[in-house]
Structure 1
């Protein structure tokens, strides 16, 4: 209603001066029939653009520059196309909706992977379902702007259109998050099984084989001077068992670095990152005093990531000091490797080392950030989530 009143008002304001000018010119010219026709033609020619101008002015006053549905959908597509992180898709969708309608608060709620909030929607918020292929993915709660009691019809149209076009992106983001979680569970199960196998090989099978080797040696000693054939047979058996013990130890060490289980992650990092005497890089580790009890996949990934990051510092940074920081929270382990070298270039080349760090973090659903350290060099910040129920 307000929009229609404003359009009429603006049309009158625009056309009234034109009508006055045309009437005055006609009166000066003698107000003949030809002049009247020419005045009517001029007024008709100016009416269409004047009405359009009045409509644009009315839209600007009523909607304050807010986008129409088509333009809002285009903006949504551009924002999603520029967002490489699937986890940030819900926040991106919600921000586009807020910007397109000039809202003060809105909330997207659809489980752990499809949740985002801007401001604090009150009890008067209007709820819009986000549906994809018959499934309600989430609900969008939108509060009216300050000073307004309800959303306008245009607001509802824009939000409905955005919800329809955002549904496939939200569905894809949820599917990718579910896939990442499933892969992380698989990696955790694999590494826990490898740790169990290493312990069984090291603690059970190796001692048993060592006992058999001792028994074979005892048989060889008892048979000495009595049965030389038995002595040779016992010696061969002893050597075969000793070889099996060595192979078992190699298999156990290949499954998982034993230092992680024997001495813990911090000690393993200090041992694996220590340089030779001619190495000028000073590596220090900042970590809690107590031993960190972590899932097998998390401490192994942290160790490999730190090793790769320190190796990159030695090869490319030209640094003299490198600081490794470990912080354990209730639901994640944070690992930061910083140096005082030349830092990362503006355009980071996709090398094998950095790709390996990204892949190891992504396997567990973690995140990696390459940036500048407080001391001026490069910094690799990794966040590795802990599975539910993991000790912390």
Structure 2
């Protein structure tokens, strides 16, 4: 019996899995490819990199095509829609969907829906990693200014129009799903969380060799992570060094900006860029710091740290989607002084650090697996296929 077909439209090739978003997609697609015939269409801001990893898609059981994103000057587009224009992708999708429409279309982010012919919306699922308008509102409140607030308003209108147009919408966290449901009364918005079992649990106490080490794992091509890195350098580290002058910090992940690389002139700072795997870096740290001031979705970096039994210091934003975990799983801080105090305490007190590591390992037992997340998404796809109205496909673009 042939597998049902799914066209999967995303804003990057999920390989290499060098960010939380890519990792999530790669883990899910590898599992779902056993039961679905999946074609990935990536509208890429880094097409050269993505083209070099098309073989990874094939190895995961999916076909993939990469199209370059462009930046048009047309006014009135929300920033996310503007960044993901692609005439070549739009043309391919128009021809591809007219010739052989799939049983379902999966869209990673509302801002890609404009690339699809309207006739296919009746069998399209939008999955929102974040509610982007809320991120922009957080950024504006953190000093982003009136221009960011205007982008938030435009993005909110665009999001809601796309949610209404699609056949189904899903989210990664309960909080985002509740927000979307408020704008789609009477429609279900399922939650498809991220898993954490791609890293095996680490032994408690492994951080003893890394006493004095702080680590921030992030994709530095993502604005909330760039803001957090700047906060670490400008405000958190000076306070930590005033009390623990030998402490070191590692910034681990792709696309570090030049000013962050320059900070490594201080021997207590290291900037790795992309690494083949993060496990050894996570295990070598005594504190995993995640001082996000804005952002959405579940933070894979926090899931990975908990799965490895690390002591995590973060903000309420860093714990979004993780409120079901036992209290104290991570040290939650509301401001910079609290983060400095937490880092110093965990760096200087092996007993406190060991207790926090045990709390992390306990929390890891409550985290979802990638298999369970893939099963949830498969159920959504099957429901979408059952509900799709084939007459809509003949109704024009």
TM superposition score category, shorter chain reference? under 0.3
- TM-score for the superposition, normalised by structure 2: 0.24
More helix by share: 1
Task: Give TM-score, length-normalised by structure 1.
Answer: 0.24
* Structure of greater relative contact order (alpha carbons < 8 Å, 6+ residues apart): 2
